[in-house]
Amino acid sequence: EALASLDVSSFNTQNVANMECMFINCSSLTSLDLSLFNTSNVTNMNLMFTSCFNLTSLDLSNFSFGKIPTVELMFKYVGTRANNQPIHVKVSAGGYTYLTERDCDIDAANAKFVKPDGTDW
């Protein structure tokens, strides 16, 4: 819960299948860049960012949803304490379509999807 920053740029996620609860309760993080994550083999993203209350920036711009991962409650309570600033979740067009069609529990009042260039979807 006290983790304020995290550099995951050297993580090798090529063979990872399960990312469930990977960042759950990282309530002190304000930004997280996962743009280098290879998620082509991931089948479970449930609860991945749940209770990351203070996130205002999350970069998932290169996430692949090719294995059709479950994303149940992926964004539960994300950004809810971020000083009235919504979290901006960067996703590709495929990611936007996939996540908005699933029960990822993104709260429109506290979070919104943006394009990789930062503009609104």
78-121 tens-digit pLDDT: 988 877 778 899 999 999 999 989 989 988 778 889 999 989 88
Alpha-carbon separation of residue 48 from 56, 62, 74, 105 (angstroms): 16, 16, 5, 11
Mean pLDDT of 42-60: 95
Residue 78 neighbours by CB under 8 Å, 6+ apart: 49, 50, 51, 52, 53, 55, 58, 87, 106, 107, 110, 111
pTM for the full model? 0.92
Rounded to whole angstroms, how far apart are CA atoms 28 and 2?
Answer: 6
